[in-house]
Amino acid sequence: MSKSTSMTTVLLRRSRSPLIAGFLASVALLAQGVPLSLPTAGHNPVRWGAAAWAQGINVSPDEIMGYARSVLEMEEPRTTAYNEIRALLTGTNVDINSISLRCTDTNSLNQLPRNLRSNVRTIVVNYCNQASQIVQANGLRNERFDAITAAYPQNDTLAEQIRAALMQIQQQSQTAPVPSN
């Protein structure tokens, strides 16, 4: 195993699942008419049995706001990474939806043509690192983000609280004064 391959492996193992959670998100919420992808438990492997207690999870208002801010802040890097990978796959027989782009599950990258694996892996690792920083900057541990991601599809109240927080953040950003130069 080369030094760069082992470094990538280390980075991928250190990366947490929320880092790519939004990457393949399948639940779209409409907040202010803008489609937004939220992570789903199916695309966000949860560690330490979080799925088992996800339905009974208690999430504070601060955690809900941190979660919502994280999801919103992850959207641009997620979209950028997805588009970069899709562009790399253009002209190949590989459908982007046929491979797992989760930080914790890179085995399916082995089905990519050899000349693309490293580039795709680099994009995934970069996104994972960005997303981890976003989650932590918003006051959550990666594991807590995972637990909330696993809980909200099963908990209508939590899902509604997250939707409300997303809308509140988006409304605040739309009404915030634009700094003058």
Residue 170 is predicted with a pLDDT of 92
Residue 113 is predicted with a pLDDT of 87
CB count in 10 Å sphere of residue 134: 21
CB count in 10 Å sphere of residue 126: 15
**Beta carbons of 17 and 142 less than 8 angstroms apart:** yes
SS3 content of the chain, % helix, strand, coil (to 5): 70, 5, 25
Residue 65 is predicted with a pLDDT of 97
Q: Could you tell me which of 90, 123, 104, 109 has the C-alpha nearest to residue 45?
A: 104
Distances in Å between the alpha carbon of 57 and those of 45, 142, 147, 154, 179? 17, 16, 8, 10, 40
Distance, CA of 75 to CA of 71 (rounded, Å): 6
Residue 180 is predicted with a pLDDT of 66
**Beta carbons of 51 and 149 less than 8 angstroms apart:** no
Taking 70 as the pLDDT cut, the residues of the chain under it are 1-56, 104, 176, 178-181
**Beta carbons of 162 and 38 less than 8 angstroms apart:** yes
